[in-house]
C-alpha cells in the first residue's frame, strides 16, 4: 500500500538540501545583489526632489488628455492650469483678471476686444499672436475636434485678428459668460509649426514627460512672461487609493495633495508636524437633485419638507468632519455674485411633518413602520456618498418618508440621471465660477441633452431672469439679476442645497506661498518657494 508519508520522519540538516557553507554563500550573494539593487534606486522619499526644487503632487485619477481644448477630467484641467494660459484668468473670488490679454474692452454686448501681451512665447519658442488665439477657439468650434467646450463658444459668430496683438470676438447674441469661457488655454496655430500632442503652452511650466496612468512631469519655463517660477519642476503622480495617498504624504513621497485626503484621514495628517493643512472655502456645491416630473416631488411643500427634515450641520460635523459649510445656493459665499438673503431651511422635522400633512401625505401610523410615501435615492458607488445617502434616508424616515437607496457604477448612474430616470439623487457641481450655471441647470430650455436641467424644472420668471443675466455685461447689474435668481431658486427648491465642500490642501511645511484658487487652479505654484524644513 502506498503511504502518504514516509514511515519515519526524515530530519534533514538545516538548511534543507544544500550544504551549510554553500547555502550561506548563496544567501550572502543574493543579499548583496538585493542591497545593490536597492542602493541604485532613487531614494524612497521625494524629499530629495523637494531639495532640488521639484514638487510632487499626488492626484487620485489619471489625466487622460492634456490638450486644454479637449481635456475633460479635473486632473488634466489642473495640470493644464500650469502649462497653458487663457486670455483671462479667474482670481480667488472668481473675479476676471487679465492673463494673455493685457486688457479687454466690451465695445457693445456683441463685441469683445482683447489686447494681447507682447513678447509672450510658447514653450517651443514661437511668439504668441492673435492668429493663435483665433485658431484655438475656431478649432474648439470645429465638431471634428470633439471639444467639450464647444457649447461655451456657440454664441461666437466671428473671431477677427485686425493685427498681431488684437483679437475681436463678435457674438450672435449677448453672452456675458463668454469671459469666463476664455480662461481656456491658448494653443499655437499649426501654421508653419511642427504639430505636437499635446500642443505647447505659454504657462509657467512646460511638459517634460507623460507616463499614462503613472505620472506627468513638468519643468519650469524660464521664459514665462511673469518671470521664471522658483520651482525647478512639478511632478503629478497618479495614486488612486485613498490610504496610499495619505501614507505617501506622511512619508514624504508626495508633497502636496489637493482635495485628495478623505475626511476620516485628515486628523492623521493634521497631527503630522512636517505637514501643513490649508482649508479654504470651496466652489464645490453638493445638492440633492429632485425629479420635478414626479407628482410627489412636483409639490413645493414636499420639497420644503425634505429640506427641513435633513440636519445638514450634523452631517457636515459627523460625516464630513467639518470639511464643508451649509449651502443656500449654487454660488459659494466668496463668489462675487453670491447673495445670502434667501430662504433658509434649518433642521425642523416638526415643520416638515406639518408640510407633508398639508400636502396630502399624512403619516398612516405615526411612529409606526408605515410610510407616507417611498422615494428612490440614486447615488454612485463612492463610499462616502453611500454613507451620506444612508444618513439622509434616516432623517427622511423620521418624518415618515421611506427611502430606497440604489447605488450604481458611475456610467450607469450618470446615464440614469441624464435620462430623468430617478426621483432623488445626490451629486456635486465642482468649480462653480460663472453664475450662468443657473441657466444651464434650471432654464426650461436646458433639458438634457441641451443642458443639465435633469429634474425638468420650469419657471417662466426665472427663465427671463436667466436670459437677462446672460445678456447683461455690467457687473453691478448682473449681480442684481443673479441675486434675484438665487432668491427664487432658494424659495422654489428645484434642488435641495446641501453644502459647499471646503478646499483642503495638505502640503509639506517647506512649501511657501501656496494659494487656493477656485476650481483647483494651481497657478500659485508659479510663485511657490521651497523654504527650510522645520
Partner 1 sequence: MKWFVLRRLLLMIPAALGVLTLVFFLVHLVPGDPVDLMLGESAGVADREALRHTLGLDQSLPRQYEHFLRDLLRGDLGESFFYREPVVRVIAERYPATVELAVLAMIVALLIALPVGIVAASRPYTLWDNGAVFFSLLGVSLPNFWLGPLLILVFALKLSWFPVSGREGFASVILPALTLGAGMAGILSRMIRGSLLEVMGEEYITAARSRGLSEAAVWLRHALKNALIPVVSLLGLQFGALLSGAIITETIFSWPGVGQLLLSAIASRDYPLLQGCILVIAFTYLGVGLLADLLYSWVDPRIHYGRAS
> Which positions touch partner 1 (CB under 8 A)?
2-6, 9-12, 16-18, 37-38, 40-42, 44-45, 61-62, 64-65, 70, 72, 143-144, 146-152, 154, 211-215, 237-241, 243-244, 247-248, 250-251, 253, 409-412, 414-416, 418, 440, 448-452
Distances from the Cα of 467 to the Cα of 94, 149, 179, 470, 490, angstroms = 21, 20, 16, 5, 19
Nearest distance, CB of residue 449 and partner 1, angstroms: 6
Smallest distance, Å, CB 359 to partner 1?
31
User: Residue 391: what are its φ and ψ, rounded to 5°?
Assistant: -70, -45
- Grid coordinates of 326: 451649509
The answer to whether 293 and 420 have CB atoms below 8 angstroms apart is: yes
The C-alpha cell at 469 is 443675466
DSSP 120-144: -B-TTSPBP-HHHHHHHHHHHH-GG
- In terms of Cα–Cα distance, which of 289, 332, 318 is closest to 432? 332
How far is the C-alpha of 461 from the C-alpha of 366, rounded, in Å?
39
Instruction: CB nearer to partner 1: give 254 or 320.
Output: 254
The residue among 41 and 191 lying less far from partner 1, judged by its C-beta, is 41
Report the SS3 class of residue 439: helix
CA distance linking residue 507 with residue 260, whole number of Å: 11
Beta bridge partners of 379: 407
Cβ 304 to partner 1, closest distance in Å? 27
Is residue 515 within 8 Å of residue 92, measured between CB atoms?
yes
Compute CA 26 distance to the chain's CA centroid, rounded to the nearest angstrom: 54
CB closer to partner 1, 224 vs 258 = 258
- Min CB(470)–partner 1 separation in Å: 14
Least distance from C-beta 248 to partner 1, angstroms?
Answer: 5
Closest approach of partner 1 to the CB of residue 222, in Å = 27
Distance of alpha carbon 442 from alpha carbon 470, whole angstroms: 14
β-sheet bridge partners, residue 236: 57, 216
**DSSP state letter for 375:** E
The residue among 129 and 283 lying less far from partner 1, judged by its C-beta, is 283
Q: Which is nearer to partner 1, 115 or 149 (CB)?
A: 149
Alpha carbon distance 3, 336 (integer Å): 85
Closest to partner 1 by CB, 61 vs 313, is 61
Nearer to partner 1, 158 or 241 (CB): 241
Q: Which is nearer to partner 1, 215 or 477 (CB)?
A: 215
Compute the least distance from the CB of residue 198 to partner 1, in Å: 10
Q: Which CB, 76 or 129, lies closer to partner 1?
A: 76
Q: Supply the minimum distance, in Å, between the C-beta of residue 127 and partner 1.
A: 28
Cα 182 to Cα 69: distance, rounded to the nearest angstrom = 11
Distance of alpha carbon 64 from alpha carbon 78, whole angstroms: 12
Q: Is 59 helix (H, G, I), strand (E, B) or coil?
A: strand
Q: How far is the CB of 280 from partner 1 (least distance, A)?
A: 25
Extended beta strands in 298-423, E state: 324-326, 373-379, 401-407
Output 16 or 350, the one with its CB closest to partner 1: 16
Instruction: Please identify, using beta-carbon distances, which residue of 367 and 409 lies nearer to partner 1.
Output: 409
Angle between helices 475-492 and 460-471 (to 10 degrees): 160
Q: Is 485 exposed, middle or buried (0-12, 13-18, 19+ CB in 10 A)?
A: buried
Please report how close the Cβ of residue 289 comes to partner 1 at its closest, in angstroms: 12
| Closer of 39 and 350 to partner 1 (Cβ) | 39
The beta-strand segments (E) located in 408-473 are 424-429
Measured distance CA(179)–CA(478) in Å, rounded? 14
The CB-of-7 to partner 1 minimum distance in angstroms stands at 9
What is the spatial distance between Cα 451 and Cα 176, in angstroms, rounded to a whole number? 18
Q: Which residue lies nearer to partner 1 by CB, 17 or 350? A: 17
Rounded CA-CA distance 30/52 in Å is 33
User: CB within 8 A of 75, min separation 6: which ones?
Assistant: 59, 60, 61, 62, 63, 236, 238
In whole angstroms, the minimum distance from the beta carbon of 265 to partner 1 comes to: 12
Between β-strands 495-508 and 324-326, what pairing exists: parallel, antiparallel or unpaired? antiparallel
Nearest approach, Cβ of residue 534 and partner 1 (Å): 19
Amino acid at each position: 500500500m502506498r503511504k502518504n508519508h514516509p514511515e519515519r520522519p526524515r530530519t534533514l540538516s538545516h538548511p534543507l538540501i544544500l550544504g551549510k557553507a554553500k547555502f550561506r554563500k548563496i544567501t550572502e550573494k543574493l543579499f548583496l545583489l538585493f542591497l545593490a539593487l536597492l542602493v541604485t534606486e532613487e531614494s524612497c522619499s521625494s524629499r530629495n526632489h523637494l531639495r532640488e526644487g521639484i514638487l510632487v503632487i499626488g492626484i487620485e485619477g489619471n489625466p487622460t488628455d492634456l490638450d486644454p481644448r479637449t481635456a475633460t477630467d479635473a486632473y488634466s484641467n489642473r495640470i493644464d492650469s500650469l502649462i497653458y494660459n487663457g486670455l483671462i484668468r479667474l482670481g480667488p473670488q472668481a473675479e476676471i483678471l487679465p492673463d494673455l490679454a493685457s486688457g479687454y474692452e466690451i465695445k457693445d454686448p456683441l463685441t469683445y476686444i482683447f489686447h494681447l501681451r507682447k513678447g509672450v512665447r510658447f514653450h517651443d519658442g514661437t511668439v504668441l499672436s492673435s492668429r493663435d488665439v483665433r485658431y484655438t477657439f475656431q478649432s474648439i468650434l470645429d465638431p471634428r475636434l470633439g471639444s467639450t467646450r464647444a457649447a461655451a463658444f456657440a454664441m461666437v459668430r466671428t473671431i477677427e485678428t485686425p493685427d498681431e496683438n488684437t483679437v475681436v470676438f463678435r457674438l450672435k447674441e449677448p453672452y456675458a459668460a463668454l469671459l469666463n469661457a476664455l480662461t481656456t488655454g491658448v494653443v499655437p496655430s499649426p501654421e508653419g509649426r511642427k504639430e505636437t500632442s499635446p500642443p505647447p503652452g505659454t504657462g509657467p511650466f512646460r511638459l517634460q514627460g507623460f507616463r499614462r496612468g503613472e505620472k506627468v512631469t513638468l519643468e519650469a519655463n524660464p521664459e514665462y512672461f511673469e518671470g521664471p517660477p522658483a520651482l525647478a519642476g512639478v511632478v503629478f503622480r497618479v495614486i488612486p487609493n485613498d490610504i496610499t495617498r495619505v501614507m505617501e504624504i506622511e512619508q514624504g513621497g508626495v508633497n502636496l495633495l489637493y482635495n485628495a485626503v478623505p475626511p476620516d484621514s485628515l486628523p492623521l495628517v493634521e497631527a503630522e508636524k512636517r505637514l501643513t493643512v490649508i482649508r479654504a472655502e470651496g466652489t464645490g456645491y453638493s445638492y440633492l437633485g429632485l425629479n420635478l416630473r414626479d407628482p410627489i416631488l412636483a409639490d413645493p411643500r414636499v420639497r420644503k419638507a425634505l429640506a427641513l427634515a435633513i440636519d445638514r450641520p450634523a452631517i457636515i460635523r459627523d460625516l464630513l468632519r467639518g470639511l464643508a459649510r451649509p449651502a443656500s445656493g449654487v454660488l459659494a459665499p466668496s463668489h462675487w455674485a453670491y447673495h445670502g438673503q434667501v430662504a433658509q431651511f434649518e433642521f425642523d422635522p416638526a415643520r416638515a411633518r406639518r408640510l407633508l400633512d398639508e400636502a396630502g401625505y399624512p403619516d398612516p401610523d405615526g411612529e409606526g413602520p408605515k410610510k407616507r410615501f417611498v422615494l428612490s435615492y440614486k447615488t454612485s458607488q463612492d463610499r462616502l456618498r453611500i454613507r451620506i445617502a444612508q444618513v439622509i434616508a434616516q432623517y427622511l424616515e423620521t418624518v415618515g418618508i421611506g427611502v430606497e437607496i440604489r447605488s450604481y457604477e458611475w456610467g450607469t448612474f450618470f446615464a440614469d440621471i441624464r435620462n430623468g430616470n430617478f426621483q432623488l439623487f445626490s451629486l456635486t457641481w465642482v468649480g462653480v465660477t460663472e453664475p450662468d450655471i443657473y441657466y444651464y441647470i434650471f432654464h426650461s430650455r436646458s433639458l438634457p441633452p441641451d443642458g443639465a436641467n435633469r429634474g425638468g424644472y420650469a419657471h417662466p420668471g426665472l427663465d427671463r431672469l436667466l436670459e437677462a443675466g446672460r445678456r447683461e455685461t455690467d457687473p453691478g447689474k448682473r449681480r442684481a439679476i443673479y441675486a434675484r435668481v438665487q432668491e427664487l431658486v432658494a424659495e422654489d427648491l428645484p434642488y435641495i442645497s446641501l453644502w459647499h465642500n471646503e478646499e483642503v490642501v495638505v502640503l509639506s511645511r517647506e512649501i511657501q506661498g501656496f494659494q487656493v484658487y477656485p476650481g483647483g487652479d494651481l497657478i500659485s505654484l508659479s510663485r511657490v518657494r521651497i523654504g527650510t524644513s522645520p
